[in-house]
Structure formats: C-alpha cells, structure tokens
Amino acid sequence: MQNTLPRHLHFIGIGGTGMRPLAEIALSQGYEVSGSDQADSKSTQALTQLGAKISIGHEEAALPNVKDAVVIVSSAIRDGNPELFAAQSKGWPIFHRSDLLAAFMNGKKSICVSGTHGKTSTTAMLAHMFEAMGLDPIAAIGGELVGRGTYSLRGKGEYFIAECDESDGTFHKYNPFVSIVTNIDLDHLDFYKDLEGLKEGFLNFMKKTDPEGWTIVGWDNLAARDTAHLYEGQRLSFGTRIGSEVRGLKCKNEGPIAHYEAIVDKTMVQDSSPVVGKHSFQNILCCLAVAHALQLDLHKAAAALRTFPGVKRRFTPIGSIAGIKIFDDYAHNPGKIRSCIEGARAAFPHDRIIVIFQPHRYSRLETMYNELMSSFSAANEVYVLPVYAAGEVSQREFTPHSIAEDMSRESHVSAVAYDSDTLALSLQQSSPTVLITIGAGDVSQLSLEWKERLDEQAAQEKGALSRSKT
C-alpha cells in the first residue's frame, strides 16, 4: 500500500499521541505532511519545525491546496467533523492511523507491542535497546522519549517497532513478525464489553503473527497467560512466575535505579536500569525476551538498557525541593495507577507518597469505577481533581468530593477533593515526601506549578536566613 500512497498526507488531529509519530516518520520518508489540531501545542510546534504545515481548528480551510491527498484520522475523529466532511466531499481517501502504520511497516520485520498497560514504556525501551545495539530501527511510540523531543525513531534498519493500540480493535490490521502482549486487564469495556471479549481480541492479534516469528507474552498476568495457551504458534513467555521462559529472579530499587537478575534460557543476566517498580522490571524482561527470540546478544541488550532515558509522563522526575520529590505520570486506568504508586513506594519506601489525581473520561469511570477506587492503597494522601472529560458526557455525577469519599473507603487512604491550600499545609511537614501528579489529561501542569511554587518558597526561606545572619 505504501508505494501507492499520494505524496501528500493530511492528519486531522496531528498532535495526538498516536498521530505525531506517524507524521514524524512520514516527514522523514519524504512525504509532504499537513494537518490540523484543536489547539497549538508542543507537538504541533515540533512537527512544524520538522516541515509539517499545520492549521489550528477543524475546518474545511485546514485542508491543503493540493490535487489529491490521503487524509489520516484516529478513532477520536467523528463523522460530524467539518474538516473530515470536506475531505470526503473532495473524494480523498480516508485512512485510519492504523492503516498508515500498517503501510509503513510493510516490508519490515515489525515488532508490535500491545497490552492493557505498559505499551508506551515497553515500546520506547525496545526502541532504545535496538538503537543502542546499532540496529538502526524505525519506531512509532505513543510518548516522547526523554532528551530526544520526538515520538519516533527514523532509522534505516530492518526492524520497525510500534506501539499497537487494542482500544478500538485496530491492532488486528497488523502482521507482526514479533507480537507482544504485556498484559490483559479490564479496560476499553465500551468496545469489548467484558474480559472475555478483550481476551478474544488479543488472541486474534496473536494469530496475525508471522508463522516464522514469535508471540511474546507476560506470564505473570493470568488473562494473558490463559489467552496464550490458546495460541498455536511459536511463543515465548516472560515474568517472575515459575515457568516463565525469560524469568526475573530479583529486582531491587536503590532510589530511581533498578538492580535486577534474570535467567534467559540458561544464561544469567545481572544488570541495572534507571526505572522504578515491578511493572518496569516486567518491561526489562520483555526486552530480554525479544532479544532472545531474535537471537541478539543478551548481555549487549542488557547493557543498552542501562542508558534508557525514559518516556515523558511515565514517572518523569520534575524536580526535588527541600525534601519533596515531584514526579508526573500518565497513568489513567487501574493497573497503570496501581503500578505507578507501588513503583514509587518501592523506590522510596520511607517517604510519604502524595498523589494529585485527575480522573480521565466518564466512560472509564462508568465501566471500572470500583477498580479505580481501589488502586491507590500504596499512597498516603490523594487529592482528587474534577474529571477530565475529553469531550464525553455522563448521566452520572462524578464530583471530586464523591470520588474522594469512595477512594478513602476502597483504598484505605486519606483522599479529599483537591485544594491547593490544604495540600500546601501537608507539604509543610518535615518528613521526606514524593508528590506525583497522575492522569491522562492536563494534570501534568500542576506538577510544574508546584515545582515553581516550592522553588519560590525555598528561595524566600534561603533569603530570609541569609538576612538573619547579617
């Protein structure tokens, strides 16, 4: 399909996490790229610097003045979108972003990363590992690599590493050489209805794997394990559970550095990586499993992971001021939230853990409310923001106060509606503290605001101390 694409690609919603890496890759391959988004952002600015022509607002005027183009949309773009309607009126082909990703992967050995949580971090870690080993991969990642300012790698090698979204079933469009299922947990029930439907979706994804390739499965996850037993192709498992073919033996954090041991076939691997939490150890084991499946040097693979820079908004350090360490994380479903907070607890076992939580989407609250409410038990305090609706509406009332009450009961944690003055009083305590902003909306802005506020406070206290000495 890729060879038949027009040279102009127009992305509606170009700044989205699933769209930006494709736009970056398209620009690197010589396509003319234009697009639109609802608002200017760091993503639209970065793509403009790479050569994309971007308009703000979804109107007919945003379409490029060219004879023909392929229009790229995500599942978030609805039929009533005026820009989409205008493109359809012109007779231009409309591709879902998954169609373009499939076209880009054509002719490459694709490594497709799926799973209810862990996709972005695992994809980024694999991409870094392959690049550090000199394999020059292409990679499409649903987050920004720290220090790179990019959502993609744009190499010339034979491997294409891609985060493949299961939320709308579009991951069935790919034909991976290596398919990865990190885990299967309750999510996307608006599409799959129940856990059995979700497992069936992942099994169908596994069945798309090249017969000469591998399916790699997180063996510590019961639903993933049960699903993998139904797959008849070549399979490799990773985890800490006995029976995992790539088995993690131990992992201990010293602050933000994980020191681990794993056995791969008969080879012992002992190394470290700058990550926190059990979920990050799972990502390391997954990377070692991919290296083993592709017969790459395991020790070189582990050495590459020592320099993994991380992904923005995945337990990203924002600053450390007067005993308060601030982090930001994109976690928004129960598994991600629990893993994030438990990871912080493992890295900083003697610190208070305070969370600022922004619930994401009414549909997620409606379909997994109880699971969400019980995901915060490793925290000491939680401050709940209003729901980030992402355009959704709900017949039920979800207020910060009601959510905090339910969270206090289910997670046995001190939870209240967010109030900056109340949080400020708590942060005045002298005990070491980890402050984490959690959510897929704009809650990350608060991590920056609190860093600035605490920096100013520390500077004022330093100034007052200096004046008192004189």
pLDDT, tens only, 301-318? 999 999 999 888 888 889
Question: Residue 255 and residue 277: Cα distance in Å, rounded?
Answer: 10
- Looking at residue 201, its pLDDT comes to 93
Question: Residue 41 and residue 45: Cα distance in Å, rounded?
Answer: 6
> pLDDT confidence of 161, banded at 50, 70, 90?
very high
Q: Is the model's pLDDT at 461 over the cut of 80?
A: no
In the CATH hierarchy, which fold is given to the domain comprising 316-463? Protein-Tyrosine Phosphatase; Chain A (3.90.190)
- Looking at residue 431, its pLDDT comes to 87
Mean pLDDT of 352-370: 93
| Active-site residue list | 119-120, 163
Token pair, residue 68, equals 């023909």
Question: Residue 32 and residue 10: Cα distance in Å, rounded?
Answer: 8
- Looking at residue 171, its pLDDT comes to 92
> pLDDT confidence of 188, banded at 50, 70, 90?
low
What class does CATH assign to 107-305?
A: alpha beta
What class does CATH assign to 2-96?
A: alpha beta
> Which range among 110-114, 203-207, 231-235, 329-333 shows the weakest confidence by mean pLDDT?
329-333
In degrees and rounded to multiples of 5, residue 13 shows phi and psi of 90, 45
- Looking at residue 54, its pLDDT comes to 96
- Looking at residue 167, its pLDDT comes to 81
> Which range among 146-160, 187-201, 234-248 shows the weakest confidence by mean pLDDT?
187-201
In degrees and rounded to multiples of 5, residue 9 shows phi and psi of -120, 130
> Which range among 161-175, 208-222, 229-243, 413-427 shows the weakest confidence by mean pLDDT?
161-175
> pLDDT confidence of 470, banded at 50, 70, 90?
low
CATH 3.40.50.720 placement within the chain: 2-96
Residue 178 burial class via C-beta count within 10 angstroms: exposed 0-12, middle 13-18, buried 19 and up = buried
Beta strand 414-417 with 316-321: parallel, antiparallel or unpaired?
unpaired
- Looking at residue 465, its pLDDT comes to 66
CATH 3.40.1190.10 placement within the chain: 107-305
Q: Is the model's pLDDT at 469 over the cut of 70?
A: no
pLDDT in tens, 384-433: 999 998 778 888 889 999 999 999 999 999 999 999 999 999 999 888 99
pLDDT in tens, 10-41: 999 999 889 999 999 999 999 999 999 988 98
CATH 3.90.190.20 placement within the chain: 316-463
- Looking at residue 2, its pLDDT comes to 53
- Looking at residue 110, its pLDDT comes to 98
> pLDDT confidence of 3, banded at 50, 70, 90?
low
pLDDT in tens, 78-94: 888 999 999 999 999 99
> pLDDT confidence of 9, banded at 50, 70, 90?
very high
Query: How many CA within 13 A on the CB side of residue 57?
Result: 4
Question: Residue 226 and residue 199: Cα distance in Å, rounded?
Answer: 9
Tell how far CA 69 is from the center of its chain: 30
Q: Is the model's pLDDT at 466 over the cut of 80?
A: no
Question: pTM for the complete prediction?
Answer: 0.82
- Looking at residue 32, its pLDDT comes to 96
- Looking at residue 279, its pLDDT comes to 87
